[in-house]
Structure 1
Amino acid sequence: MSDYSIAKHFNQYFKIHFANTKELRQEAYKIRYGVYSSELGWEPENAQKMEIDQCDEYAYHCLLEHRRTGVFAGCIRLIIPPPTDPTKQLPFEANCLQSARKEIVDTTQLPRGSFGEISRLAVLASFRRREKEKNVPFVLNNIKPDTVFTEEERRNFPNIAMGLYLSGIALASLCQHQGMVVMMEPRLNRRLKRFGLPFQQIGDDMDYHGKRAMFYLDEQDFHKELTEQLEELYAIIHKEMAEQIKFVKFGKDTPFNIPDVDLSSHI
């Protein structure tokens, strides 16, 4: 039996950051621009070279830093609609509700502020693929990037996207959310299920940057079905996120269940 630990090696080479400053959030916007605008062409290019939308006003961002180089390798965000402002929607509410399977989960009946949407997962090209992965923002399978990274570092690159997913789930857990929504390809959902994230499909397949659908993960499934290795990684990420958030000064409407946890100055 192998003694290899995904959590130990991931933590050796990468560090999760809660983007609690304007500068860190801009690092996330730059990664998104490089992937979604420059590389994939899904979003328009701009002079600022940052990909930003209206949801960033009420989103919380995570960054993944490559420890040896200090390079931010990837990002993800958890968007939480303000309970007091129903005009501010989640992306799936603005674009995908017509496909909803309300008999499974009716998100329109969930209390505002009790759920969010994970989106804008992006990983720099140098920490991904090459050959068959030229049209995707991240991968969850084996990769062989032609980079200056060591063989041991490259061994951990396939876990980057999962580490970012787990950081988004940790944020939702710290907000005591009852669930979260993700727009993703059904085949990605099948991979996530193998890792222990049993998202339910709550919308019909639709054309949304390719074949995608709405998926929902209930709070009781945030991490309880994770494989043993990924449960260990989730525990490290959750602890790291909680410690970082604890020392951030937030406004009175913070969703985090931690004292003294401002989304001000986003851009």
Structure 2
Amino acid sequence: MAQHSGHLEFILIPENKSFDSSFEVFLADTLESKQIHYNLRYQVYCDEMGFEDKDQFPEQMEIDAWDDSAVHFLVRHRKSGHWLGGLRLVFNKHDAFPFENLTQPYREISLAEREVSVEMSRLCVIKEARRFPAKRFAPYGLPEQEISEENDKIKSIYNYKNQTRSLMWGLFRAAAVYCAENNIDYWYFIVAPALAWFIRKEGFEFQQIADACEHRGLRTPYQISIENILANRLWQKDYKQHFSCYSDLEKEFAVPKRAAQS
């Protein structure tokens, strides 16, 4: 049931549709569901943006050494079942987070802090589900690139840009709820200036924790509390359904299959 590639048909979603009525978020708790995220990352980071060498991923799944220490989230369109994007939360591994390979924190992160923190990364949304290029909003995007006109050959799943943003907020909300349920208090993340501005503009409060560094453009690491994320006004009228487990989705498909064989 995993959809790893293929043409995504045009789907028009009216502006007044809520995130909860149009999309759903899943915790990728099976190998198959994690592979969906790896393939979405391949489409964005290898195929579209060229940030990763696609020759290193012949199976079209962008994966790295941190994935074994991470949990993954996926978002899909309810009606069509198309997988549109995802992100991961990386747990402390050998007393390190991914951003520490790029720049060093202003102060040492204690073991106690590491145990209640994760790093949010590999946020991605495929181009068919975006109004603007990935390089504008993705964490590893080029922050100063001018927004170009949408290519007529790309069928956008949206006709309003505010719905493009809702995919990211839906993933943020679900991942933050997961953290609250699992006694995780903080996120680290390292992003381009444009994305940091974009997140702060929505009322999220976060602090810089290390010097900016050069990594496919200028990147700055930040820390944000789960309490701050969950207190945001965005969640007052939408994003109420949090997330489901992919394994539960598999069970739903397994029942009619067994019935058909009996």
TM over 0.5: yes
Q: Which amino acid aligns with 1:17?
A: F
Could you say which residue in structure 2 is the equivalent of 1:222? 229
Q: Aligned to 2:85, which of 56, 74, 93?
A: 74
Mapped contact 1:144–1:154 kept (Cα < 8 A): no
| Residue 109 (structure 1) shift | 5.2
Match of 1:79, SS? strand
**Alpha-carbon spacing, 1:31–1:151, altered in 2? closer, same or farther (3 Å):** closer
Aligned counterpart in structure 2 of residue 119 of structure 1, from 115, 118, 121: 121
Cα offset for 1:163?
A: 1.6
Q: 1:40 to 1:173 in 2, by over 3 A?
A: same
d(CA) in 2 for partners of 1:125, 1:51:
16
Question: What is residue 21 of structure 2 aligned with on the other side?
Answer: 12
The 5 A counterparts of 1:194-205 are 194-205=201-212
Corresponding residue for 2:52? 43
How far is 1:110 from its partner? 3.9
Percent identical pairs in the alignment equals 24
User: Any conservation in 1 of the 2:43–2:126 contact (CA below 8 Å)?
Assistant: yes
C-alpha distance in structure 1 between counterparts of 2:168 and 2:71, whole Å? 17
Partner residue, 1:258: none
Instruction: State the secondary structure of the residue aligned to 1:78.
Output: strand
Does the Cα contact within 8 Å between 1:74 and 1:122 map onto a contact in 2? yes
Contact 2:173 2:239 in 1 (8 A): yes
Q: Which consecutive unaligned segments of at least 5 residues does structure 2 have?
A: 1-13, 140-146, 250-262
Quick one: structure 1 residues 185 and 19, their matched pair in 2 at CA, closer, same or farther if it must change by over 3 Å? Answer: same
Aligned twin of 1:264: none
What is the CA distance between 1:199 and its match in structure 2? 1.3
Per-residue deviation at 1:170? 2.1
* Matching residue of 2:192: 185
Counterpart code for 2:19: F
Partner of residue 233, structure 1: 238
Q: State the 1:194 CA deviation.
A: 2.3
Where does residue 174 of structure 1 map in the other structure? Answer: 181
How big is the shift at 1:189?
A: 2.0
CA offset at residue 155 of structure 1? 5.8
Confirm or deny: 8 A CA contact 2:176 2:229 kept in the other structure: yes
Note closer, same or farther for the CA distance 1:55–1:134 as it changes in structure 2 (3 Å cut): closer
The aligned amino acid for 2:208 is Q
Deviation at 1:156, TM superposition (A): 2.2
- Taking the aligned partners of 1:218 and 1:95, their CA distance within structure 2 comes to 22
Normalised by the length of structure 2, the TM-score is: 0.74
Q: Aligned partners of 2:135 and 2:161: how far apart in 1? A: 20
Residue aligning to 2:3: none
Equivalent positions of 1:78-97 (< 5 A) are 78-81=89-92, 86=94, 89-97=96-104
Q: Which residue of 2 aligns with 1:254?
A: none
Q: Counterparts of 1:27 and 1:73 in 2: how far apart (Å)?
A: 10
CA change 1:70–1:219 in 2 (3 A) is closer
Structure 2 Cα separation of the partners of residues 76 and 40 of structure 1: 17
- Deviation (angstroms), 1:93: 2.2
Aligned equivalents of 1:185, 1:15: Cα separation in 2: 27
Offset of 1:192 from its aligned partner? 1.4
Moved more, 20-29 or 179-188: 179-188
Q: How much has 1:196 moved relative to structure 2?
A: 2.3
The whole-number CA distance in structure 2 between the counterparts of 1:177 and 1:157 is: 28
SS class of match (1:221): helix
Do structure 1's residue 107 and structure 2's residue 112 form an aligned pair? no
The CA distance in 1 between the partners of 2:103 and 2:27, in whole Å, is 28
Assess, with a 3 A threshold, how the Cα gap between structure 1 residues 110 and 41 changes in structure 2: closer, same or farther: farther
Paired with 2:33 and 2:121, the residues of 1 have a C-alpha distance of 17
* Residue in 2 that maps onto 1:265: none
Would you say the 8 A contact 1:65–1:74 is kept in 2? yes
